[in-house]
Amino acid sequence: MANGIRDRVAIVGMGCSRFGERWSESAEDLMLEAFQEAVADAGVERRQIEAAWLGVCLEENNVGKTAGPLVQGLRLHDIPATRVENACATGTEALRGAVYAVASGACDFALALGVEKLKDTGYGGLPHRTRGTMTDLWQPNGSAPGAFAQLASAYRSKYALPAEELKRAMAHVSVKSHENGSRNPKAHLRSRISIEDVLKAPIIASPLGLYDCSGVSDGAACAIVTTPEIARGLGKKDVITVKALQLAVSSGEEAQFNTWDGASIRTAQVASSRAYQEAGIRNPSEALDLIEVHDCFSITELVLMEDLGLSLPGRAPHDILEGRYDRDGAIPCQIDGGLKCFGHPIGASGLRMVYEIYLQLQGRAGERQLAKADLGLSQNLGGHPHQNVCAIAIIGRHA
């Protein structure tokens, strides 16, 4: 019987580029920026890396369909390398490949790296090229803001919330992220905003306004993983290990049947439940010290607080307004600014989330450092509420 990978794999080094509009740098430049930080952090040489996973989602026109640019750009001579893609969960998918390789005993050191140069595509938001006849037929004018605006409408209807109350809770989510992002020198957006700024902003897809939406960025993030025993041999005192890695993909039931009410992310419920079991967590509200979630829109973060079992059904708006997920709240969320402000280069986002938790666990987050950080969760979501992939990673100090 499978018993998971809890504490079988250690993260010994991580790196992250500055996110933003990096017009002057290529994808390879961003990969190298993140990789050099990770190698220095790990205290290993590049020749020790035995396998690599590259996560790229929408920028394959420039990066390519293989992991060749990773191996060439980082001079990782003749190692097995694989390019992966899993929508906005691509970064976590790359980490999953590297972690499983070490857990299986296939190699001692593995690299996971995610990168995206979205600003070069010329789109204001996510590039949306044709994906085949069926998608073009069913969803010729579909948009991410439109899909997640429907999530907001369904949530408000289910819990009979006044529109103003939900909107104010969503605004609090955005203001919190901007406040946290202002403390992060690598974040794309570092300006503080007010509740009134959010409430008065132009509507993108009702009830989502401008400040309810994350932007897109250029950036890269990476991790080097090994076994806890090797990590200790490298002189690591506070060994950080992977407690759980879980993935859930929509089967089509949400889109095709009436059992889904449209007010939740079912895959997040499933993946988090599996992750808690793998990590040995019975009460996530008590166990988790910080979380990084996929706040592509403010309503997404709000709903996820319930899907992850951190707020009771219908209580997320109240918990948010009471500061439960603020920097000084019970469970700080998006302490680095999240997708909203750190940025969202799709292939890198999942690893960027883990990067912040990793720094916090080691007491190295600078101005952002929390007083207590022993266990953290990242949640990555790709797709729309009715059809998506959800990835959960939980990391903490080695038991």
Return the active site residues.
88, 344
Tokens of residue 87, six digits? 């929508």
DSSP, res 88? B
The answer to whether residues 271 and 309 touch, using CB atoms and an 8 Å cutoff, is: no
| Residue 178 main-chain phi, psi, to 5 deg | -65, -40
Token pair of 300, please? 């997404």
Q: How many residues are there in the chain? A: 399
CA–CA separation, 169 and 258 (whole Å): 28
Backbone angles phi, psi at 267, to 5 degrees: -65, -30
Rounded Cα distance, 337 and 99, in Å: 26
Which helix H or strand E contains 369, and what residues bound it?
Answer: none
* Closest of 22, 212, 213 to residue 116, by C-alpha: 22
Q: Is 86 helix (H, G, I), strand (E, B) or coil?
A: strand
Q: Which residues are CB-contacts of 299 (< 8 A; sequence separation ≥ 6)?
A: 148, 149, 151, 152, 155, 170, 207, 208, 212
The SS3 of residue 276 is: helix
What is the spatial distance between Cα 91 and Cα 75, in angstroms, rounded to a whole number? 21
- The DSSP letter of residue 333 is B
Q: Identify whether the C-beta of residue 33 lies closer than 8 Å to the C-beta of residue 126.
A: no
- Residue for token digits 């998006």? 334
Within 13 A of 42's CA, how many CA atoms are on the CB side? 30
Q: Is 174 strand, coil or helix? A: helix
**Three-state SS annotation for 285-310:** HHHCCEEECCCCEHHHHHHHHHHCCC
Residue 228 has a CB neighbour count (10 Å cut-off) of: 18
